[in-house]
Amino acid sequence: MEIVSLHKCLSDPTRLRIVNLLLREPLCVCELQEALDEPQVKMSKHIGYMKRQGLLDVQRKANWNFYRISPKLSEAVLASLEAIRTGYAKDPKLSEDLKKLEHSPGAACR
């Protein structure tokens, strides 16, 4: 994935919010859905797009798929993602998503 492709991918607010959460830890769709308060269909659509772009990897555990940022990304892309992780912490919406994730009762997949 090139840096331009990354920014095109993250130009959608929902995908940016997903990446912000996945920069902390691998998550399943139900955890993302709960933290972002979005329907499963929307989450799956965005995750599928991000997988096709090479941004995400998936690991299957029992009946659940856990998504994470791909470790195969270039150093430039990883540096840009690190800027998101640290720089956007002051964004109210992204901070709210993180708080919801931290305070969620836990999804059935864990």
- Distance (Å, whole) CA 34 – CA 104: 8
pLDDT of amino acid 104: 73
- Please report the beta strands in 1-110, taking only residues with DSSP state E, as ranges in sequence order: 27-28, 56-61, 64-69
CATH code of 3-101, in short, is 1.10.10.10
Among 72-76, 84-88, 96-100, which stretch is predicted with the lowest mean pLDDT?
A: 84-88
Q: Where are the domains of the chain?
A: 3-101
Prediction pTM value: 0.88
> Is residue 39 classed as helix, strand or coil in its secondary structure?
coil
Residues listed for the chain = 110
> Is residue 56 classed as helix, strand or coil in its secondary structure?
strand
**pLDDT tens column, 19-47:** 999 999 999 999 999 999 999 999 999 99
- Distance (Å, whole) CA 33 – CA 39: 6
**pLDDT tens column, 61-82:** 888 899 999 999 999 999 989 8
